[in-house]
């Protein structure tokens, strides 16, 4: 027995009748409890099409307009000619990103090369290094000023383990101290002179630390900048402090991230003199960017 429907008939979607849930009929063939039943000996021949395109359906899900087919074929041929495997849309998105990253990298390298021109690399003299890990380093607990003669003195700094070390000036301390050491020393000095005024060499240490942490634009040290002749500009990388040394012996200590009332003339002198470091570092480059950003163009 043959199917009574003509094989040339094209199936189309019925837009009027009630929609049928096709999931109810999936897996019927080959199951034990669902299937098509035919009486034995009827000679029924069953022809099944599993793909609507293969059966010549007019299913909208499978249809493509001639214009769309031509367009896709044209894009494929064009891609093959250019030797590009990626779709055109993806290629348009990826190229600008790569180009932007490459341009940004070139700009960063160019800026870094320019900043290197403001660095003066002066390696430290080789000296015995005291290996002291952060975990075993004891905090600063006290200090005192020792005056031997009118012109010779030193500051003795004590740590929690009972050890101590002598320094002539704050700049010397910064070669050994980290930022926490400097902050702790300032706290101790402030507490000692909270109800009185420091004198002599104590005043010198107090003044250096006060200028470092609490600069006042009306202080004499900032008002007289035009009179200073800058000898050097140095970075103490370990504690994040840079130092200006003048020809009259004055030293101005500044935190790398803090803005101070420096004049335009002094900022220009600093860049002209160059930043003295013992090696290139990200902190040195950040400081140079920070100082350059304050110079009026």
Question: Is residue 125 situated within a structural domain?
Answer: no
Q: What is the helix (H) or strand (E) element at residue 23, kind and residue range?
A: none
CA–CA dist 213, 211 (Å, integer): 6
CA–CA dist 279, 281 (Å, integer): 6
Q: How many domains does the chain have?
A: 2
Condensed to tens digits (0 to 9), the pLDDT of residues 3-20 reads: 555 555 555 666 666 776
Same domain, 286 and 152: yes
Question: Is residue 283 situated within a structural domain?
Answer: yes
Decide: 157 and 143 in contact? Cβ < 8 Å. Answer: yes
Of the CA atoms within 13 Å of residue 225, those in its CB half-sphere come to: 18
Question: Is residue 105 situated within a structural domain?
Answer: no
Same domain, 150 and 272: yes
Same domain, 9 and 148: no
Confidence of residue 131 (pLDDT cuts 50, 70, 90): very low
**pLDDT above 70 coverage of the chain, percent:** 64
Q: Domain ends where: 34, 53, 81?
A: 81
pTM of full prediction above 0.75: no
Domain that holds residue 65: 1-81
Question: Is residue 112 situated within a structural domain?
Answer: no
Q: 3-class DSSP state for residue 144?
A: strand
Closest by CA position to 280, among listed 127, 126, 118 = 118
Same domain, 163 and 243: yes
Question: Is residue 131 situated within a structural domain?
Answer: no
Decide: 232 and 273 in contact? Cβ < 8 Å. Answer: yes
**pLDDT above 90 coverage of the chain, percent:** 55
Question: Is residue 126 situated within a structural domain?
Answer: no
């Amino acid at each position: 027995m043959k199917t009574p429907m003509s094989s040339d008939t094209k199936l189309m979607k019925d837009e009027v009748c009630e929609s049928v849930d096709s999931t109810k009929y999936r897996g019927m063939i080959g199951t034990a409890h669902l299937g098509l039943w035919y009486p034995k000996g009827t000679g029924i021949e069953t022809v099944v099409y599993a793909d609507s395109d293969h059966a010549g359906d007019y299913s909208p899900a499978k249809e493509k307009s001639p214009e769309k087919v031509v367009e896709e074929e044209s894009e494929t041929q064009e891609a093959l000619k250019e030797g590009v495997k990626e779709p055109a849309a993806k290629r348009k998105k990826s190229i600008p990103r790569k180009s932007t990253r490459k341009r940004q990298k070139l700009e960063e390298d160019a800026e870094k090369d320019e900043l290197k021109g403001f660095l003066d690399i002066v390696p430290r003299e080789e000296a015995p290094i005291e290996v002291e890990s952060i975990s075993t380093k004891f905090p600063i607990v006290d200090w005192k000023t020792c005056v031997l003669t009118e012109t010779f003195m030193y500051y003795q700094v004590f740590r929690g383990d009972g050890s101590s070390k002598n320094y002539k000036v704050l700049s010397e301390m910064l070669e050994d101290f980290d930022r926490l050491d400097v902050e702790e020393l300032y706290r101790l000095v402030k507490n000692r002179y909270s109800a009185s005024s420091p004198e002599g060499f104590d005043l010198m240490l107090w003044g250096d630390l006060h200028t470092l942490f609490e600069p006042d634009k009306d202080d004499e040290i900032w008002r007289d900048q035009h009179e200073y002749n800058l000898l050097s500009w140095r970075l103490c990388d370990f504690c994040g402090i840079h130092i200006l040394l003048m020809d009259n012996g004055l030293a101005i200590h500044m935190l790398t991230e803090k803005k101070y009332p420096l004049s335009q003339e002094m900022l220009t002198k600093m860049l002209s003199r160059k930043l003295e470091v013992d090696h290139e570092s990200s902190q040195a480059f950040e400081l140079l960017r920070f100082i350059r950003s304050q110079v009026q163009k």
